[in-house]
A = this chain, B = another copy of it.
Amino acid sequence: MATNAQISDAPATRAGAESPTGLIERMAREGRAAQRVLATMPDETKAQALRLAAGRLRADAEIVLAANALDVAAGEKAGLSGAMLDRLRLDEARLSAIADAVEQVASLPDPVGQVIDRSTPSNGLELSRVRVPIGLIGIIYESRPNVTADAAALCVRAGNAAILRGGSEAVNSNRAIHAALAAGLEEGGVPRQTVQLVPTQDRAAVGAMLAAAGLIDMIVPRGGKSLVARVQADARVPVLAHLDGIVHIFAHHAADPAKAAAVVLNAKMRRTGICGAMETLLIDATYPDPHGLVTPLLDVGCEVRGDRRAQAIDPRILPASAEDWDTEYLDAILSVAVVDGLDAALEHVELHSSGHTDAILTEDAQVAARFLSEVDSAIVMHNASTQFADGGEFGLGAEIGIATGRLHARGPVALEGLTTYKWLARGTGQTRA
């Protein structure tokens, strides 16, 4: 850990000669203290503070958009790609959508205090498990300034404090959004240090967050594969994330060809850059209409790479290499393999899936049941587009991310995943024999 690296742009009033480690430790202590206050606040206070934060975001629209314009100008000068500039750019409609999202989170039921289960074992204790906040969450993200508001709102709704560390491309936007949120939350009685933005772009501060075991309870990285990989490799703090989404759809021979064609086209092309986009299509060797699946994709300009049997479907299909089966394209590219029935499909999925989302298309209920049972991914779908893999679509109201790890929370993670529980045991003076 670089403890004496230079701090590039910390506000002089706060972080003067502080090392990145010292800075993060101080922020974590302040965040934890704020969280303990937040934890005792009634539901309605937290919800109202979030509504005030959303209101402040709307009221400060001019300031936020001006800050964002600085980031966009700097990004253009630095030669950011069109896609990156688009992720970075805010306008009135986008900012209003960000405020809407904060209000939506405010309207979600408070998970804190929910009773998971109750029991009365033979010793006569009244036992219950009750949801409580996790504590202090670290969010490390890249160029999307909306994450600043989304993540903060979800953390606060579940009674957590947050330390946010956004990407340097969005530094002005993030500061402006954070300032508006923090002011609104404070107006609503939530301690100011509940949501903190790391005031430096020094990468050593990220390292300090990843090393802060015991101070930060969980880290959620939001961004590209290299960010997530670094966080997963270096973190001493538990991480909730997915590295990639190598998403499969298996078109079984008993699928409804019209439904299947529509789902396949949607799963690949609706948005190619999201983690739920299909990356590999497995076509049953006895599938009645393979052209119906592949031709529409080729016709809208999707590049298709196939194994030998798949290439026979259409002359425009390029040969797939071994790496294609393990590649998340996040683009209008698809790998296609022809497989001999369900067992071969299951084998391919087990070998190549990243455990994010996989789907089967079939009208055979027994085959569907086996696929749902045997595929061990966070989300397993039957007769639906994998682009539904999303907390909002799953009715969670929002999501802090999608997790492919096996502990704590899996799949879309929202408020429940930002809580833990404690056991309450109520007795009448029982002693243990």
Whether B429 pairs with A263 at a CB distance below 8 angstroms is yes
Whether B395 pairs with A119 at a CB distance below 8 angstroms is yes
In the complex, chain B residues whose CB is within 8 Å of the CB of A134: 406-407
- Interface flag for A57 (CB, 8 Å): no
In the complex, chain B residues whose CB is within 8 Å of the CB of A129: 411
Whether A431 pairs with B382 at a CB distance below 8 angstroms is no
- Interface flag for A259 (CB, 8 Å): yes
* CA–CA, A412 and B422, complex, Å: 10
- Interface flag for A377 (CB, 8 Å): yes
- Interface flag for A420 (CB, 8 Å): yes
Shortest distance in angstroms between A72's beta carbon and chain B's nearest beta carbon?
A: 29
Closest residue to A40 on the B side, CB-wise?
B374
Whether B432 pairs with A270 at a CB distance below 8 angstroms is yes
Chain B proximity mask over A399-433: 1 for CB below 8 Å, otherwise 0: 00000011110111000000011111111111110
Query: Which residue of B256, B406, B424 contacts A380 across the interface (Cβ within 8 Å)?
Result: B424
- Interface flag for A123 (CB, 8 Å): yes
Whether B372 pairs with A39 at a CB distance below 8 angstroms is no
In the complex, chain B residues whose CB is within 8 Å of the CB of A96: none
Closest residue to A117 on the B side, CB-wise?
B416
Query: Given A378-B423, A394-B121, A425-B380 in contact, is the A431-B372 Cβ separation under 8 Å?
Result: no
* CA–CA, A127 and B384, complex, Å: 11
Chain B proximity mask over A351-392: 1 for CB below 8 Å, otherwise 0: 000000000000000001000111011111111110110000
How big is the A interface, by class? Answer: 35 or more
In residues 32-67 of chain A, which contact B (Cβ within 8 Å)? 36, 39-40
- Interface flag for A84 (CB, 8 Å): no
* CA–CA, A374 and B379, complex, Å: 36
Whether B380 pairs with A407 at a CB distance below 8 angstroms is no
- Interface flag for A135 (CB, 8 Å): yes
In the complex, chain B residues whose CB is within 8 Å of the CB of A431: 262-263, 265-267, 270, 384-385, 387
- Interface flag for A393 (CB, 8 Å): yes
Whether B410 pairs with A408 at a CB distance below 8 angstroms is no
- Interface flag for A167 (CB, 8 Å): no
In the complex, chain B residues whose CB is within 8 Å of the CB of A292: none
In residues 80-115 of chain A, which contact B (Cβ within 8 Å)? none
Query: Which residue of B259, B378, B395 contacts A121 across the interface (Cβ within 8 Å)?
Result: B395
Whether A421 pairs with B410 at a CB distance below 8 angstroms is yes
- Interface flag for A211 (CB, 8 Å): no
In the complex, chain B residues whose CB is within 8 Å of the CB of A368: 426
Query: Which residue of B407, B412, B428, B430 contacts A407 across the interface (Cβ within 8 Å)?
Result: B407
Whether B388 pairs with A411 at a CB distance below 8 angstroms is no
* CA–CA, A256 and B430, complex, Å: 12
Query: Given A217-B407, A406-B135, A432-B266 in contact, is the A426-B382 Cβ separation under 8 Å?
Result: yes
- Interface flag for A132 (CB, 8 Å): yes
- Interface flag for A238 (CB, 8 Å): yes
Q: Which 10 A-B pairs have the closest CB atoms?
A: A384-B427, A259-B429, A266-B431, A121-B395, A387-B432, A407-B408, A408-B408, A381-B425, A411-B423, A383-B427
6 further interface pairs, Cβ-Cβ under 8 Å (given A218-B406, A378-B423, A385-B432): A238-B405, A372-B426, A380-B423, A381-B426, A382-B427, A385-B430
25 CB-based A-B contacts, threshold 8 Å: A40-B373, A129-B411, A132-B376, A134-B407, A218-B407, A238-B405, A256-B429, A260-B429, A377-B422, A378-B422, A378-B423, A380-B423, A381-B424, A381-B425, A382-B424, A382-B425, A383-B428, A385-B431, A387-B431, A388-B425, A394-B425, A407-B408, A410-B420, A410-B421, A410-B422
Q: Residues of A at under 8 Å CB distance from B?
A: 36, 39-40, 119, 121-123, 125, 127, 129, 132, 134-135, 217-218, 238, 256, 259-260, 262-263, 265-267, 270, 350, 368, 372-374, 376-385, 387-388, 393-395, 405-408, 410-412, 420-432
